[in-house]
Each structure stands twice: as structure tokens, then as C-alpha cells.
Amino acid sequence: TLNELAPLSLKTWEGLAHPEDLSKSRELLEKHFEGELPYYNFECRMRHKNGEWIWVHDRGRLISRTEDGEPLMMFGTHIDITERKRSAEQLRESEESYRNQFARNASIMLLVEPGTGRIVDANQAAVKFYGYPRERLLEMKIQEINILTEADIREAMDSVKRDEAKQFSFRHRLADGSIRNVEVSSSSIPFGDRVLLH
């Protein structure tokens, strides 16, 4: 309650703010007080009454000064954004897990855009196997690697999109021009607002 926080002042806020966030907060407040920022805006950790640290979106604006020009009173809001921060952290961890499973996997992996055949991503095993730098692979289409006709490649990609075929025997051309027989297991996966072939 407000009574439990009284007397309200900048010291009240500083006493509840996480020590690691105080220096950045003070810097932003000072910039606002000096007129460099139109308002104060910061996401910080604050001590909850139950003892836990929660995330708060803290926004405010100086509304009055003392006669000698010092900041006197601010108006602002504190919004609990703990759940949003937790969700963002879970998403970051999920993306990192995916990235590690894809990038560091010993199996050769490509992500291919089914409409165009464009290679969207390639892991290190694919770079090593095909012999192209990763940057070059990401400029290529699967049609530049698979030696089937374009129509046959499109039919294979379409069958994966329709969830009909998942296993293929193909012949792929490597960077040095040699041809290798490869067994391909493929599936369609949602990736943002689109579907890619893995």
C-alpha cells in the first residue's frame, strides 16, 4: 500500500530497485532532468513485498522544480512486466536450444524454402560436406546442388509439404564438382509465418 511505502521519494524507489540497475536508472533520470530526454523510461528489477525480484516498466516525467531549479516532483507509472520478461527469456532459451541443435548437429542439415528452393539456413556439417562457405550456401538454391530436373525437385518438395514423402535418395553436386549419393530425410516445419523444409 502507499502507506507502507511512505514517505514517497526518490529514496523509496532507490531502496527497492535492484543494485545492478541503479546506475543506468540514475543516468537516464539525470538525462531527463537535464532536458536530454523528454521523459524517463526504463525496465528494471524491483524488490516485491514478498521478497522476490520483479520486473517493472518505469516511466515518468518531471513536473516541477524547486525555486533554484532542482527536480522537485515527478509523475509516472510502474507496470509489472515480470511475465513478459519471463516469456521473452523462455523464447530466447528456446531459440538458443534450437540454434544449438541445428548448428552443432553432426548431421548435415539445410532449411529450404519450398516455393523457390532457396537455402535459408545451413549448419556447419552441411558447410563441411558440400564444401561451400556458409555465406555462399545461403545464396544458393537446392536446385544448384540436387542434380534432378527442376520439375522433379519441385515434386519432391511438394510431396514433403503434402506430408506424403519423407525419405529420398538423391545425387548432390559438391563445390568441387563431384557427385555424391545422399539419403535425405525431410519434413516441413513451421518457421515464423512460413513453412520451410528441413
Read off the pLDDT of each residue in 30-58 and give the average, rounded to a whole number.
95
Residue appearing with cell numbers 559438391: 174
Return the C-alpha cell found at 98.
Answer: 534450437
Q: Is the pLDDT of residue 5 over 90?
A: no
- Give pLDDT, residue 25: 92
Q: Is the pLDDT of residue 192 over 80?
A: no
Q: What is the 3-state composition of the chain as percent helix, strand, coil, each rounded to the nearest 5? A: 35, 30, 30
Q: Which CA distances in Å does 161 have to 39, 43, 116, 124, 170?
A: 50, 43, 13, 25, 18
Q: Is the pLDDT of residue 135 over 90?
A: yes
Tell me what the pLDDT averaged over the chain comes to: 92
**For 57-68, what is each residue's pLDDT tens digit?**
999 999 999 999
Three-state secondary structure readout of 109-122: CEEECCCCCEEEEE
